[in-house]
Amino acid sequence: MSDRTLSQPRREQLMRVLVIAQLVILAIGILFPIAWMVTSSFKSSADVTAYPPTLLFRPTLDNYTRLLQTTPFFSYARNSLIESGSSTLIGLLLGVPAAYAASITRASWPALVTLSARMAPGTLFLIPWYIVFRDLGMVGTYGALILTQAAITLPIVIWVLLPAFDAIPRSILEAAGVDGCGILRSLWRVALPLVSSGLVIATILAFVFSWNYFLFALVLSDENTKPLVVAAFNYIGEGSTDWGGLMAAATLIALPPLVLAIAVQRWLVAGLTLGAVKG
Amino acid sequence: MASLRMQGLKKRFGTMEIIPSLDLEIADHEFVVFVGPSGCGKSTLLRIIAGLEPITEGDLFIGDQRVNDLTPAQRDIAMVFQDYALYPHMTVYQNMAFGLQMRHTPQAEIDARVQNAARLLDIEPLLKRRPRALSGGQRQRVAMGRAIVRDPKVFLFDEPLSNLDAQLRGQVRSEIKALSQRLKTTMIFVTHDQVEAMTMADRIVVLRGGVIQQVGAPEEIYGRPANRFVAGFIGSPSMNFLPVNLADGAAHLPDSRTLNIGTALRGTAVLGIRPEHFIPAPEGTGMPVDVTLVEPLGSDTLVHFLVGDIKCIARVAPDTRPHVGERLPLSVAPGKAYLFDPETGARLA
Ligand SMILES: Nc1ncnc2c1ncn2[C@@H]1O[C@H](COP(=O)(O)OP(=O)(O)OP(=O)(O)O)[C@@H](O)[C@H]1O
Ligand SMILES: [Mg+2]
């Protein structure tokens, strides 16, 4: 008895240390490639291919200036913004009501359908997809790229929001009905505010996935609608690759989603439904 | 402000029949209380009226309008949910104002009504808080407030006072009663509490397994229960039931004692006597019983005794303080002996 009470604080301490160690290992694994990318982008072309890799080097902005001078980087960035922004918006506009409808009707098939849409290998659809847009004369247009990426964002939105809606006690939604809300108003005034953190997560995920969506964009875009990820691909040349420039581009591409995630971090608060119902 | 009519109403969940077939009319301005054991379908019935549960079969009318296919929003009812169902992201004020906003009530009137309801329910200091920062009883009062700010056709209350302390419960009870008289709105109130049922109801509906056992004014339900179930359910402590043999105007008890109840019936029956209808008899008359427990309540005294192996309770005047083991002669107040069919439970007399 007294033995256990004595060892209790020490055991807790040990657990803390183990948890922290685990987090550190995990963080290193995740952050290492990012650190590599960022440091490489500041290396001179000699340093970037040096083997063994140099840890101490004289940072230079050469890669960035070259990138911005030799490529229309900002127009690619604008393309990416237009395409990811619009497809995220479409995903939200369609996905939010879809997830809500699936939740209140307790239908399980929409979740299954969206899951299989997420799991199916995209390459399978690449050619028919291309043919459809070619026949529509839409290859190289924003429309084609936005619609294609909406096919990515929509399932993400549904998949994130469905469990969030499911977690709202039904009686709260029923109370909204009794208070005079139709289905859309109960969604807007009651359900959405209660899943706001889920909504933020869904928005970020949808935006990031569509921002990084490569294969279909490669096939469907042209010089005027090319998004950043596709443009960066051009840095991988047949003969020699400009690794420094590529890393600078990659760093810049990774920036907006990161900024977005940090900006909305404070929204990600849980436990909002606390205290709504008895017990 | 509307009457309510249920015709051949049936409710099944899957294959489970919760309400076999129910007919009930509730008049305009009437205050009706549903009572019945847990799981008998009280909440289900309220939810059907509110439009939250589809009707399996039969019709529901509010006023002259058949509302089977109307959404809750279209039915114009206010409801207090058994689990409160407050909006967690809104303050207490917003919770109460929401239904009025949805119906485009002018802001000044919303404000007046919310303040008024908050004063009635003693939650004025809480108006800026969110539900998670409230105690159970406070949440329940907010749920109550959200309903009473409205001016609907029908109020539905699902055990709205269950979590309040005795004093507050009494206070809110009389407020609701006063409100119903002032607003002249039809009210349906579900409760487990005898006192609530008896004091508030114009009519009580006793339910069991989704079937109406009796509908009537409180004194009628209490004084002329339709069957043994109603007799046992209404009244606290509940009615004593004794299997008896009737002969020569007297009831012959299981332990061969007799109790003179002056009945013309003969044969086997179940004798029902409310605790308060036992009266101490003069020495040498009545039925002598051996006291097993005495509970002084202040206002009166509960005397427990055995008849055969059946536990019985008598409620007697507070100054009657028999000792445990003492032999006390009891008789039954004239005309207060109920007789039930031993098979069907229906009341015989
Ligand atoms: N959604 C549902 N699906 C299946 N059965 C249900 C459902 N809702 C209620 N029931 C059943 O219907 C019956 C009546 O339930 P209801 O909630 O109306 O009882 P109640 O009289 O309100 O009880 P209490 O006094 O405990 O609140 C119960 O047997 C319950 O298990
Ligand atoms: Mg109930």
- pLDDT per position as a tens digit, A2-16: 455 557 778 889 999
Intra-chain end-to-end CA distance of chain A, in Å: 34
| Domain coverage including residue A108 | 69-273
**Closest residue of chain A to B80, computed from CA coordinates:** A175
Give residue-wise pLDDT tens across range B204-233: 999 999 999 999 999 999 999 999 999 999
Chain A, residues 155-214, CB within 8 A of chain B, namely 169, 171-172, 174-182, 185, 189-190, 193-194
For residue A229, the domain's CATH number is: 1.10.3720.10
Of A188-192, A215-219, A253-257, give the range with the top mean pLDDT. Answer: A188-192
pLDDT band for position A271 (cuts 50, 70, 90) = very low
For residue B269, the domain's CATH number is: 2.40.50.140
Total domains in chain B come to: 2
B62 vs A: CB within 8 A: no
Pair A237, A172 in one domain: yes
Ligand 1, pocket-test mutation among B10, B13, B192, most atoms within 8 A of CB: B13
Last residue of a domain, one of B233, B249, B271: B233
Q: Which amino acids bring their CB within 6 angstroms of ligand 1?
A: B 13, 16, 18, 36, 38-44, 82
What pLDDT shows up at residue A267? 62
What pLDDT shows up at residue B119? 92
Q: Between helices A73-104 and A142-166, what is the axis angle to 10°?
A: 40
- Domain-located, residue A53: yes
What pLDDT shows up at residue B128? 96
Q: Do A272 and B84 touch (CB under 8 A)?
A: no
Q: Give the pTM.
A: 0.82
| Domain coverage including residue B270 | 240-340
Pair A122, A188 in one domain: yes
- Domain-located, residue A279: no
Distance CA(A248)–CA(A44), nearest Å, equals 11
What values do phi and psi take at B28, rounded to 5? Answer: -55, 140
pLDDT band for position A274 (cuts 50, 70, 90) = very low
Give residue-wise pLDDT tens across range B285-296: 888 888 999 999
What pLDDT shows up at residue A215? 87
For A188-197, what is the mean pLDDT?
Answer: 92
Pair B175, B295 in one domain: no
SS3 A176: helix
- Domain-located, residue B349: no
Pair A122, A27 in one domain: no
B280-306 residues labelled b (16+ CB within 10 A) or e (exposed): beeeeebbebebeebeeeeebbbbbbe
| B80 Cα to the center of ligand 2, angstroms | 11
User: Higher confidence at residue A241 or residue A158?
Assistant: A158
What pLDDT shows up at residue A276? 52
| B43 Cα to the center of ligand 1, angstroms | 7
- Domain-located, residue A42: yes
Distance CA(A104)–CA(A114), nearest Å, equals 17
Pair A214, A229 in one domain: yes
- Domain-located, residue A215: yes
What pLDDT shows up at residue B257? 82
Q: Do A274 and B139 touch (CB under 8 A)?
A: no
pLDDT band for position A261 (cuts 50, 70, 90) = confident
Answer whether B188's CB lies under 8 Å from B203's CB. no
- Domain-located, residue A278: no
> ipTM of this model?
0.84
SS3 B242: strand
- Domain-located, residue B282: yes
Pair B52, B180 in one domain: yes
Chain centroid, CA B170 distance in Å:
15
Q: Which of A275-279, B150-154, B274-278, B320-324 has the lowest mean pLDDT?
A: A275-279
- Domain-located, residue B264: yes
Give residue-wise pLDDT tens across range B126-167: 999 999 999 888 998 999 999 999 989 999 999 988 888 888
Give residue-wise pLDDT tens across range A204-237: 889 988 998 888 898 899 989 999 988 888 777 6
- Domain-located, residue B182: yes
**What is the residue type of A48?**
V
Pair B180, B247 in one domain: no
Nearest by CB to residue A180, choosing from B88, B102, B133, is B102
The mean pLDDT value of chain A amounts to 86
Pair A128, A161 in one domain: yes
Give the neighbor-by-neighbor strand order of the sheet with B57-62: B16-26, B4-13, B57-62, B65-66
Pair A162, A265 in one domain: yes
Name every residue whose Cβ is closer than 8 Å to that of residue A134 and which is 6 or more positions away in sequence: none
The yes-or-no verdict on residue A260 having pLDDT over 90 is no
- Domain-located, residue A187: yes
For B312-329, what is the mean pLDDT?
Answer: 90
Of A37-41, A122-126, A171-175, give the range with the top mean pLDDT. Answer: A171-175
Answer whether B186's CB lies under 8 Å from B192's CB. no
Total domains in chain A come to: 2
- Domain-located, residue B151: yes
The yes-or-no verdict on residue A1 having pLDDT over 50 is no
